[in-house]
Structure 1
Amino acid sequence: MPALTKAQKKLAQAAEDSFNRTYAVQFGEERWQQTLYPALAAPTRYAALINRFAVADVGAVFSQEQAARLQTIRFLTDSDLSDPKPLMSFQWDVSEAEATFPLPQSDSSSGLMTHWNLDAASLLVVSVLDPRPGNKVFDICAAPGGKSVALSQFLRPDNYDGTSPTFKGGCLHSNEVNAGRNKRLASNLQSYLPEALFKTGEVKVLKLDGTQPFSLQTLPHGPGGYDKVLLDAPCSSERHVIHAHVKAKQSGRLADEMTSWRSGQSKKMAKIQVALLMTALKAIRVGGHVLYATCSLSNDENDSVIEKGMELVQKERKKLGIKWNFAVRSGDLAAKGLAEWAEPTQHGWLVLPDHPSGGKWGPLFFALLEKVEA
Structure 2
Amino acid sequence: MLKIRNICMLQRRWKSGKRRWNVLQHKKNNCDRALDSFDDFYGSVYGGRWKNMRAALLTEHKYVAMVNNFGDTEQTCSMLEMDGAINIKSLIQLARERQESGEVGGGEGGELNLATRAHYDIDGKLDALVRKQEEREVAAIYPSSASEDGHVPPQQLKYDKETKKDELETETESTEFKQSLTRALEEDVQLDESRLVDPQFGTGGLYEYVPANRIKGMEDWVAESEHYKYYQTNVDFPLIIEPDATLQYPEHLAIYTYEMGNCADFKPPRQCLTGVLSHFLMDGASVLPPLFLQVQPGERVLDACAAPGGKSLLMLQTLHLDQLVCNDVQESRLNKLRHVMQEYLFDYKQRWAGKRLIFSHNDARNLDEYGSYDKILVDVPCTTDRHVLMHQDNNIFKPTRIKERLRIPELQAGILANCLRLLKPGGSLVYSTCSLSPVQNDGVVHMALQKVFTDHGITTRIKDLSQHTALLGDIYRFEQPKGLKYGQMVLPYLPANFGPMYFSKIMRDT
What displacement does 1:307 show?
A: 0.6
Q: Give the equivalent residue in structure 1 for 2:340.
A: 188
Could you tell me how far apart the structure 1 residues matched to 2:490 and 2:325 are? 26
Question: Cα deviations across residues 243-272 of structure 1 (Å, max 9, x unaligned)?
Answer: 237xx9xxxxxx966564999865410111
Correspondence for 1:325 among 453, 459, 484: 459
Change in Cα spacing, 1:119 to 1:193, as seen in structure 2 (3 Å) is: same
Find the counterpart in structure 2 of residue 304 from structure 1: 443
Deviates more, 1:203-212 or 1:294-303: 203-212
Q: Deviation at 1:366?
A: 0.5
1:105 aligns with 2:262: no
Corresponding residue of 2:428: 289
The answer for the alignment partner of 1:163 in structure 2 is none
Counterpart residue type for residue 46 of structure 1: Y
CA RMSD of aligned residues (A): 3.1
Residue of 237, 246, 255 corresponding to 2:384 = 237
Deviation at 1:39, TM superposition (A): 1.0
More relative contact order, 1 or 2 (CA 8 Å, 6+ apart): 2
SS class of match (1:271)? helix
The residue that corresponds to 1:354 in the other structure is: 493
Shift of the 40–372 alpha-carbon distance from structure 1 to 2, 3 Å rule, reads: same
Q: Which residue in the other structure is 1:45 paired with? A: 62
> Is residue 2:169 matched to residue 1:17?
no
Does the CA contact (< 8 Å) of 1:326 and 1:370 recur in 2?
A: yes
User: What is the CA distance between 1:333 and its match in structure 2?
Assistant: 3.7
Q: In 2 relative to 1, CA 132–2 (structure 1 residues): closer, same or farther, beyond 3 Å? A: farther
Partner of 1:123: 287
TM-superposed deviation, 1:142: 0.7
1:31 pairs with 39, 49, 52, which one? 49
Q: How far is the alpha carbon of 1:304 from its aligned partner?
A: 0.5
Distance in 1 of aligned mates of 2:271 and 2:284: 22
Q: After superposition, where does 1:196-215 map in structure 2 within 5 Å?
A: 196-198=350-352, 201-212=355-366, 215=367
Give 1:146's aligned residue. 310
Q: Secondary structure at the match of 1:240?
A: helix
Does the aligned pair in 1 maintain the 2:430–2:505 contact within 8 Å? yes
Q: Which residue of the partner structure matches residue 372 of structure 2?
A: 225
- The equivalent residue for 2:324 is 172
Q: Is 2:87 the counterpart of 1:72?
A: yes
Q: Do the aligned residues in 1 keep the contact of 2:383 with 2:405 (CA within 8 Å)? A: yes
Instruction: Point out where structure 2 has 5 or more consecutive residues left out of the alignment.
Output: 1-18, 94-244
Between structures 1 and 2, the one with greater strand share: 1
TM value normalised by structure 2? 0.58
Deviation of 1:210 (Å): 0.8
* 1:370 equivalent in alignment to 2:507: yes
Partner of 1:56: 73
Q: Which runs of 5+ in 1 are unaligned?
A: 157-166, 217-221, 249-254
Within the candidate set 334, 338, 341, 2:467 is matched to 334
Distance (Å, rounded) in 1 between the aligned partners of 2:405 and 2:87: 36
Residue in structure 2 matched with residue 313 of structure 1 by the alignment: 452
State whether residues 307 and 328 of structure 2, in contact with CA within 8 Å, keep that contact through their aligned partners in structure 1: yes
Q: Distance in 2 between the 1:129 and 1:32 partners?
A: 29
Taking only the aligned residue pairs, the percentage that are identical comes to 27
Asked if the contact 1:143–1:181 (Cα under 8 Å) also holds between the matched residues in 2, the reply is: yes
**Larger-Rg structure:** 2
Alpha carbons 1:47, 1:119 under 8 Å: kept: yes
SS of alignment partner, residue 269 of structure 2: coil
Deviations 1:206-235 (A, max 9, x none): 1121122xx21xxxxx32111110011110
TM-score by length of 1: 0.78
Q: C-alpha distance in 2, partners of 1:360/1:11?
A: 25
Do the aligned residues in 1 keep the contact of 2:388 with 2:396 (CA within 8 Å)? Answer: yes
Shift of 1:135: 1.4
**Is the CA contact (8 Å cut-off) linking 2:486 and 2:504 kept in structure 1?**
yes
Compared CA separation, residues 173 and 37, structure 1 to 2 (3 A) = same
Query: Residue type of the partner of 1:19?
Result: F
Once the two structures are TM-superposed, the CA of residue 130 in structure 1 deviates from its matched residue by: 0.6
Which residue type is aligned with residue 251 of structure 2? K
Change (3 A) 1:263 1:177: closer
Contact 2:397/2:405 (<8 A) preserved: no
Say which of 17, 23, 26 aligns to 1:5. Answer: 23
